[in-house]
């Protein structure tokens, strides 16, 4: 029950990143997604892992709050396709996690697949660097959590947290004219 | 620690040092050092860290930093392909680890191949290219610096995460994508209107050889891939950097050196590309001789593009002439006697 | 003889090239002395290694990394072909002035060709031969990028095909060393590939290819060296093929097919020669003619044919030097060159062709008919030669690179060497047959004065010395006044030649019809593929996933 809810929360966080354009919405998305992933991963791998992931996600969320488009801008006009994407991704991830694959950690499978799918789609579809970096942060956390499917040590989680934290604070050079 | 990876790291270090010493003045040394060094360090980390997931994260970090670095293109566009590569590789790992039907293993293989192609910038995941970029910020750095280490890493680790059946699918897809890139790259370097794009396509063609070599599961294939990577790092990359100097004035007569460069780029004897081709043909013949026939046909397509690229260098003398001569000499030596390279890589 | 001596013929020109290059980069042109020393040093090294022992000397070092060891040897075949390559090249490098880059590249090409001939295995031969081809193309392009040159793609294809042959032999038989390949390894497919490689390497085709085209270049310095170094290599492969097959080709059809192709090539070259517009154009077809007949002789599968082919090739190699040094103007040198080329008795060309035709008759059946076709081709060339005497010289070449007296001397030597054909066969060609056709070589007999075949005896000295004396007497009495130099009409024209040229022009001018250009727009295709479009990326992923489930 808890793991299922946490997986849903992780999906919700990723969906927020897809649907939001403002820095507050994005930060909330990172925070929610981090919470969900941390709980799901922590249930399998332990509290230390959850703490590491939470720290990384928190740093990413804080970094997003200080840079990026202002406001929330959740579901701005024209975001219906994005909403459909979120729902479709959830359904597909659910199908794969429960229907095709087997074993324990179905919640973890759902969480990482849905977050990777949504974060990847957001990177591909967005032209705003801040939005992309937010997606990078959550995608990194998901990759770290996916290591738990293979019974990994703590290092993937540490690496994921570092990448996520860095993505939230990465300075961008101004593009030069051609 | 893979001996091949160690050798490629040493090569990449030497190539970066060479580039810093001999790169033309239009390329700022500082950005070359910083970005080249970052690419090298990240590539080494990708190859050397024992956990695949950590390697993915290092790749992701490199992609983000590279995209954020100074350059003419927008950050968004430059991040897409490497980020997609990471996503593909991550999903591939998930499919490889979970329990489920046999086809999941094959999908994992798809993810690994697609991820590798997207990271390096091969067809069908070609990185958007802007010829006005300074060389270090150009996507070619992925192909020639970080890409070789990533390629070796992915292929090696694939052996441990994939089953026998999905491993065969992985190998077959590598060969398929490899042949595709060989054909596209060879044709593109000849027919495209932009010389910078022609260079990029020539790298793709060489990477096609690499992928075919990796896909041939016999040791000759691995040897061919290593020699092809050597040719990319120690041959094509320095020559590409040399071509970034002022474009060749059309009034200048063609000098012998331009044709020798064309020969080196085309993989003709006695350069290292020819040795790589011999080993590739050997490996393909061992497994399935019609494949060798197809590869031999495609190999001939290197020539027109290489002639064009050879003519694009204006080897005016001085440091550049020394650099080009050194590159050619190293390639000849490796082409005639590649055994030390192969032995050092444990092949 | 120490094994390391086999490296001499390769190392000496390499060292000379290095010295020339170093001094050249420093701004000093060393002239013709160092190239001459390097090239003649190669010739001397070949002689020094072979003559004292007259048996194979081999040097085998460690593995190189692509399934082949460093294996170099000088045996009868590599000696014979080595002299064919090195001697005319040395002569040209000695006499013709060159810039230091040209001299360097010429010596490197020569060294590579010799290395290809000395290589003990197929793969190493392919690498060295490919190097020679690359250098030849560089040499020609550097001299004049607008003048005709061989298609680099064709040359590369030939050497790549040979490397694949080597690979196939390694995979199937465990080795690609000429003398060690199991006979059963060389099947029809592998031999076909080997034969194709030989044809591509020397461009032995009925249509006009680079062995003829290069003679039309404004300068013949690079052309002469290129033909001297590259042209014999294809024949070398056909000769070595006998060694791979323990003295024969794997199927009689290959003998017949290659012999037929050879005579067709000779016939076509003769037809083009008799329709030539200038004397240079006529002389340009001489080498392909020789090559065609030599291929016929070598391919028929008998030892007699093989030795006749070797002698013919040696004659051709001498003619290469003569033609490269010959100026494009009327004169006794030009006259003698034509006489030597068309095979007037008692010249070496005449004698070798007679032996070759005899060999085809002895082989019998279809091959005998090929001999008759060869005679017909020879006749056509003779008619062409008679006509060529009255033709204008050609576009002309720089005076500094022509040496009419030397050319005259070579042509004269060919003409008077006919009586020595038996001695030449005994000393030069028979060892090659013994090397590659050990079972059949015993059928060769004779001595210094005659050639003994299965069915007859050709008393070379007895027959040709009187002919030679008669010719000298005739010339002494009549001089050259009896030689009519007015122009004569063409005997016939090949309709196919024009058709081929028209087909090529039509192929080059092909274009996509305007109404379809929007579909096959390469630029748009490139933009679509390289534009970084996520839709394409995801579609490709789906396609891969679909493919992998089949």
* C73 SS3 class: strand
Task: Give the per-residue SS3 of C303-335.
Answer: HHHHHHHHHHHHHHHHHHHHHHHCCCCCCHHHH
> Nearest C-alpha of chain A: how many angstroms from B182?
27
Optimal mutation site among B38, B52, B54, B101, interface A, most CBs of chain A within 10 A: B54
> Nearest C-alpha of chain A: how many angstroms from C547?
20
Average pLDDT, chain C: 89
For residue A122, what is the nearest residue in chain C, using CA coordinates? C534
Nearest Cα to B284, choosing from B274, B271, B294?
Answer: B294
C289 contacts: CB under 8 Å, gap ≥ 6 = C265, C266, C269, C270, C273, C341, C377, C381
pLDDT at B21 over 50: yes
Q: Does A100 touch chain C (CB under 8 A)?
A: no
Q: Does A124 touch chain C (CB under 8 A)?
A: yes
Nearest Cα to C145, choosing from B252, B301, B198, B196?
Answer: B252
User: Are C529 and B299 in contact (CB < 8 Å)?
Assistant: no
Interface of C with A in 415-434 (CB under 8 A): none
pTM equals 0.90
CB C46 within 8 A of CB C82: yes
More confident: C112 or C538: C112
pLDDT at A81 over 50: yes
More confident: C168 or C473: C168
The pLDDT value given to residue C511: 67
Q: CA-CA distance, B48 to A129, in Å (whole number)?
A: 30
The pLDDT value given to residue C2: 86
For C151-196, how does the pLDDT look when each residue is reduced to its tens digit (9 = 90+)?
998 999 999 999 999 999 999 999 999 999 998 999 999 999 999 9
Optimal mutation site among A124, A126, A127, A132, interface C, most CBs of chain C within 10 A: A124
> Nearest C-alpha of chain A: how many angstroms from C103?
46
ipTM value = 0.92
CA C99 to chain CA mean position, Å: 25
The pLDDT value given to residue A52: 92
User: Are B91 and A136 in contact (CB < 8 Å)?
Assistant: no
The pLDDT value given to residue B135: 54
CB C107 within 8 A of CB C94: no
Average pLDDT for A101-124: 91
User: Are A175 and B74 in contact (CB < 8 Å)?
Assistant: yes
> B17: which 2 tokens?
């040092």
pLDDT at B250 over 70: no
Name the residue facing A147 among B53, B68, B71 (closest C-beta): B53
User: Are A166 and B87 in contact (CB < 8 Å)?
Assistant: no
Q: CA-CA distance, A146 to C317, in Å (whole number)?
A: 72
User: Are C544 and B338 in contact (CB < 8 Å)?
Assistant: no
The percentage of chain A sitting over the pLDDT mark of 90, rounded to a whole number, equals 58
* A67 SS3 class: coil
Helices (H), C181-285: 188-202, 210-213, 221-244, 252-274, 279-284
Please count the other Cβ atoms lying within 10 Å of the Cβ belonging to residue C33.
Answer: 11
In total, chain C counts a number of residues equal to 550
> Nearest C-alpha of chain A: how many angstroms from B74?
6
Q: CA-CA distance, C117 to C49, in Å (whole number)?
A: 14
> Nearest C-alpha of chain A: how many angstroms from B299?
35
Name the residue facing C163 among B173, B278, B303 (closest C-beta): B278
Domain positions in chain B are 3-344
pLDDT at B72 over 50: no
Q: CA-CA distance, C38 to C174, in Å (whole number)?
A: 37
Q: Does C534 touch chain A (CB under 8 A)?
A: yes
Average pLDDT for B19-47: 81
Q: CA-CA distance, C108 to C10, in Å (whole number)?
A: 9
The segment with the largest mean pLDDT, out of A58-67, C32-41, C386-395, C541-550, is: C32-41
For B259-281, how does the pLDDT look when each residue is reduced to its tens digit (9 = 90+)?
899 999 999 989 999 999 999 99
Q: CA-CA distance, C501 to B209, in Å (whole number)?
A: 36
Q: CA-CA distance, B29 to C71, in Å (whole number)?
A: 46
Using an 8 Å CB-CB cutoff, list chain C residues near B103. Answer: 549
**How crowded is the C-beta side of C434, counted as CA atoms within 13 Å?**
16
User: Are A167 and B64 in contact (CB < 8 Å)?
Assistant: yes
User: Are B269 and C127 in contact (CB < 8 Å)?
Assistant: yes
The percentage of chain B sitting over the pLDDT mark of 90, rounded to a whole number, equals 41
Q: CA-CA distance, B184 to C7, in Å (whole number)?
A: 42
For residue C534, what is the nearest residue in chain A, using CA coordinates? A124
DSSP assignment string, B279-314: HHHHHHHHH-HHHHHHHHHHHTTHHHHHHHHHHT--
Helices (H), C26-175: 33-53, 76-95, 100-118, 122-143, 152-173
CB A112 within 8 A of CB A11: no
pLDDT at C486 over 80: no
Nearest Cα to C68, choosing from C175, C185, C179, C191?
Answer: C175
> Nearest C-alpha of chain A: how many angstroms from C534?
6
Q: Does A170 touch chain B (CB under 8 A)?
A: yes
Using an 8 Å CB-CB cutoff, list chain C residues near B81. Answer: 532, 537
Using an 8 Å CB-CB cutoff, list chain B residues near C193. Answer: none
Optimal mutation site among C531, C532, C533, C534, interface A, most CBs of chain A within 10 A: C534
pLDDT at A113 over 80: yes
The pLDDT value given to residue C45: 96
Q: CA-CA distance, C121 to B220, in Å (whole number)?
A: 19
pLDDT at B136 over 60: no
pLDDT at B66 over 90: no
User: Are A119 and B87 in contact (CB < 8 Å)?
Assistant: yes
Residue C443 pLDDT grade (very low, low, confident, very high; cuts 50, 70, 90): confident
Q: Does B234 touch chain C (CB under 8 A)?
A: no
C311 contacts: CB under 8 Å, gap ≥ 6 = C348, C351, C352, C355, C421, C424, C425, C428, C429
Average pLDDT for B284-297: 91
Residue A178 pLDDT grade (very low, low, confident, very high; cuts 50, 70, 90): very low
Give the least confident one: A23-32, C119-128, C517-526: C517-526
The pLDDT value given to residue C459: 80
Name the residue facing A175 among B71, B79, B100 (closest C-beta): B71
The percentage of chain B sitting over the pLDDT mark of 70, rounded to a whole number, equals 92
Average pLDDT, chain B: 86
The pLDDT value given to residue A173: 67
CB C244 within 8 A of CB C236: no
Q: Does C489 touch chain A (CB under 8 A)?
A: no
For C503-548, how does the pLDDT look when each residue is reduced to its tens digit (9 = 90+)?
777 777 776 666 666 555 667 777 777 777 788 888 888 888 888 8
Please count the other Cβ atoms lying within 10 Å of the Cβ belonging to residue B102.
Answer: 9
Q: Does A86 touch chain B (CB under 8 A)?
A: no
Listed in order, strand segments (DSSP E) in chain B are: none
User: Are C130 and B268 in contact (CB < 8 Å)?
Assistant: yes
pLDDT at B221 over 90: yes
Phi-psi region of C387 (alpha: psi -120 to 50; beta: other; left: phi over 0): alpha
Neighbours of chain B (3+ CB pairs under 8 A): A, C
């Amino acid at each position: 029950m808890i793991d299922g809810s946490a997986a849903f929360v992780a999906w919700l966080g990723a969906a927020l990143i897809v649907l939001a354009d403002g820095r507050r919405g994005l930060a909330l998305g990172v925070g929610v997604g981090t919470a969900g992933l941390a709980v799901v991963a922590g249930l399998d791998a332990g509290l230390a892992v959850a703490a590491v992931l939470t720290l990384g996600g928190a740093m990413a969320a804080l970094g997003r709050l200080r840079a990026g488009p202002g406001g929330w801008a959740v579901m701005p006009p024209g975001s219906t396709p994005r909403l459909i994407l979120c729902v479709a991704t959830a359904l597909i991830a659910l199908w794969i996690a429960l229907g095709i694959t087997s074993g324990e950690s179905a919640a973890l499978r759902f969480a990482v697949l849905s977050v990777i799918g949504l974060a990847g789609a957001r990177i591909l579809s967005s032209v705003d660097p801040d939005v992309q970096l937010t997606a990078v942060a959550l995608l990194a956390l998901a990759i770290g959590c996916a290591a738990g499917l293979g019974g990994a040590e703590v290092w993937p989680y540490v690496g994921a947290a570092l990448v996520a934290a860095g993505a939230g604070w990465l300075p961008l050079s101004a593009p030069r004219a051609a | 620690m893979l001996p091949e990876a160690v050798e490629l790291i040493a090569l990449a270090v030497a190539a970066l040092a060479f580039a810093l010493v001999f790169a033309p003045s239009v390329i700022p040394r500082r950005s070359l050092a910083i970005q080249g060094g970052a690419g090298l360090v990240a590539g080494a980390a990708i190859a050397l860290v024992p956990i695949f997931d950590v390697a993915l994260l290092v790749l992701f970090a490199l992609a983000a930093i590279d995209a954020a670095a100074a350059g003419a293109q927008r950050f968004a566009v430059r991040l897409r392909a490497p980020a997609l590569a990471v996503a593909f590789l991550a999903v591939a790992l998930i499919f490889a680890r979970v329990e489920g039907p046999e086809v999941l293993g094959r999908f994992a293989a798809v993810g690994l191949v697609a991820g590798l192609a997207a990271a390096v910038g091969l067809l069908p995941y070609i990185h958007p290219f802007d010829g006005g970029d300074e060389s270090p910020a150009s996507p070619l750095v992925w192909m020639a610096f970080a890409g070789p280490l990533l390629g070796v890493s992915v292929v090696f680790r694939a052996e441990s995460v994939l089953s026998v059946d999905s491993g065969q699918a992985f190998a077959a897809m590598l060969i398929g994508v490899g042949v595709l890139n060989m054909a596209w790259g060879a044709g593109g370097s000849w027919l495209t209107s932009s010389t910078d794009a022609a260079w990029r396509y020539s790298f793709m063609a060489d990477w096609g050889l690499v992928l075919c070599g990796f896909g041939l599961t016999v040791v000759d294939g691995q040897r061919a891939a290593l020699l092809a990577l050597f040719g990319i790092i120690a041959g094509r990359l320095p020559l590409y950097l040399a071509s970034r100097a002022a474009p060749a004035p059309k009034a200048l007569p063609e000098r012998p050196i331009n044709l020798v460069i064309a020969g080196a780029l085309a993989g003709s004897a006695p350069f290292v590309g020819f040795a790589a081709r011999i080993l590739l043909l050997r490996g393909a013949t061992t497994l399935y001789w019609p494949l060798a026939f197809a590869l031999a046909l495609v190999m001939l397509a290197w020539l027109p593009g290489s002639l064009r690229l050879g003519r694009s260098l204006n080897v005016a003398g001085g440091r550049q002439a020394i650099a080009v001569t050194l590159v050619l000499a190293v390639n000849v030596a490796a082409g005639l006697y590649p055994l030390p390279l192969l032995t050092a890589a444990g092949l | 003889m120490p094994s390391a001596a086999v490296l001499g013929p390769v190392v000496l020109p390499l060292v000379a090239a290095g010295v020339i290059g170093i001094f050249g980069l420093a701004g000093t042109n060393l002239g013709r002395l160092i190239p001459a020393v390097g090239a003649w040093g190669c010739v001397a090294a070949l002689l020094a290694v072979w003559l004292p022992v007259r048996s194979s000397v081999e040097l085998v070092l460690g593995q190189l990394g692509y399934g082949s060891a460093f294996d170099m040897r000088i045996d009868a075949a590599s000696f014979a072909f080595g002299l064919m390559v090195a001697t005319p090249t040395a002569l040209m490098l000695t006499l013709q002035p060159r810039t230091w880059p040209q001299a360097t590249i010429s010596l490197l090409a020569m060294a590579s060709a010799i290395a290809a001939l000395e290589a003990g295995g197929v793969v190493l031969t392919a690498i060295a031969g490919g190097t020679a081809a690359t250098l030849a193309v560089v040499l020609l392009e550097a001299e004049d990028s607008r003048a005709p040159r061989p298609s680099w793609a064709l040359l590369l294809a030939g050497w790549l095909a040979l490397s694949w042959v080597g690979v196939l032999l390694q995979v199937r038989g465990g080795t690609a060393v000429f003398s060690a390949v199991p006979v059963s390894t060389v099947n029809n497919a592998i031999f076909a590939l080997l034969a194709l490689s030989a044809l591509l390497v020397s461009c032995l085709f009925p249509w006009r290819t680079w062995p003829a085209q290069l003679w039309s270049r404004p300068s013949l310095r690079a052309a002469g060296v290129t033909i001297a170094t590259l042209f014999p290599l294809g024949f070398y492969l056909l000769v070595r093929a006998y060694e791979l097959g323990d003295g024969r080709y794997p199927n009689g059809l290959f003998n017949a097919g290659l012999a037929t192709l050879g005579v067709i090539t000779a016939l076509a070259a003769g037809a083009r020669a008799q329709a030539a517009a200038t004397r240079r154009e006529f002389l340009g077809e001489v080498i392909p003619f020789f090559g065609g007949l030599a291929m016929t002789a070598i391919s028929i599968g008998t030892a007699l044919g093989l030795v006749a082919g070797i002698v013919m090739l040696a004659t051709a190699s001498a003619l290469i030097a003569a033609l490269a040094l010959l100026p494009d103007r009327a004169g006794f040198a030009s006259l003698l060159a034509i006489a030597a080329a068309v095979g007037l008795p008692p010249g070496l060309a005449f004698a070798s062709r007679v032996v070759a035709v005899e060999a085809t008759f002895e082989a019998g059946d279809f091959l005998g008919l090929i001999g008759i076709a060869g005679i017909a081709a020879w006749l056509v060339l003779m008619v062409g030669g008679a006509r060529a005497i009255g033709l204008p010289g050609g576009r002309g070449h720089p005076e500094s690179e022509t040496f009419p007296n030397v050319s005259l001397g070579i042509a004269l030597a060919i003409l008077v060497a006919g009586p020595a054909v038996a001695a030449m066969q005994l000393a030069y060609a028979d060892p090659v047959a013994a090397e590659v056709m050990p079972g059949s070589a015993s059928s060769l007999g004779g001595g210094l004065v005659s050639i003994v075949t299965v069915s007859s005896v050709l008393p070379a000295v007895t027959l040709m010395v009187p002919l030679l004396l008669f010719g000298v007497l005739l010339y002494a009495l009549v001089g050259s006044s009896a030689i009519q130099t007015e122009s004569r009409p063409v005997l016939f024209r090949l309709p196919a030649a024009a058709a081929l040229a028209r087909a090529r022009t039509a192929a080059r001018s092909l274009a996509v019809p305007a109404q379809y250009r929007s579909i096959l727009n390469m630029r748009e295709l490139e933009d679509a593929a390289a534009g970084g479009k996520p839709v394409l990326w995801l579609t490709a992923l789906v396609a891969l996933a679909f493919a992998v489930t089949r």
